[in-house]
A and B are shown apart, each in its own frame.
Chain A
Amino acid sequence: DIVMTQSPDSLAVSLGERATINCKSSQSVLWSSNNKNYLTWFQQKPGQPPKLLISWASTRESGVPDRFSGSGSGTDFTLTISSLQAEDVAVYYCQQYYSAPYTFGQGTKLEIK
């Protein structure tokens, strides 16, 4: 199984500042045949299901504010929120969909400082 490890486990950032969450996979999730990274980022607010933010490591989903961006390739990935807003308080998960079982990181809890 591919193990996904996020860092940090929790993060407190001031409003308007940058937030960075890292995700590392135990093996590459880059599919060589199409040069795509099978890596998504989800946002989950209390009492709600996860919301897909970023697919293919860096493609923002429709309706997701452009302050959210994803980067990385192979085994190392980053979710960046360029200017933190109050509504961004949530738990963020990375997930690989390269191979079953489709594993998630343990989550990063983002709070306002």
Chain B
Amino acid sequence: EVQLVESGGGLVQPGGSLRLSCAASGFTFSNYWMSWVRQAPGKGLEWVAHIRHDGGERYYVDSVEGRFTISRDNAKNSLYLQVNALRADDTAVYYCARDRRLWDFWGQGTLVTVSS
């Protein structure tokens, strides 16, 4: 059974940082691209970033470029999102999703709240 479990969210002040993690199981993690998608409270979905199966390519939405870094450790079956210089409009549930050019499995998400 495919499972994706996010962690690392929390309350952080504007300008602060967090490292989000996603633990994957039930599939060969190293064979798949992986994505982060976020959803602000009561709002729609926004794709944030994705990373190639070997980490060799990474792409970001413009609004996070230079502030967020996606990475992975295939030996640990884990995906990460380093989020820096956080702003109030980064407040959202962050989901990781398996990315095979469509997002077929999602985790339950981790909430990041940016507030002073």
Mark A residues whose CB is within 8 Å of B. 38, 40, 42, 44, 48-52, 55-56, 61, 93, 95, 97, 100-107
Contacts and interface: CB of A to CB of B under 8 A. Distances in A.
B29 interface: no
Contacts of A102: 35, 47
A52 B45 contact: no
Interface residues of B, number: 20
Given A38-B101, A50-B106, 8 more contacts: A48-B108, A49-B97, A52-B104, A55-B102, A93-B45, A100-B61, A102-B35, A107-B45
Contacts of A51: 106
A13 B107 CA distance: 30
A49 B102 contact: no
Contacts of B44: 93, 104-107
Contacts of A55: 102, 104
A97 B102 contact: yes
Contacts of A100: 47, 50, 59, 61
B45 A50 contact: yes
A101 B47 contact: yes
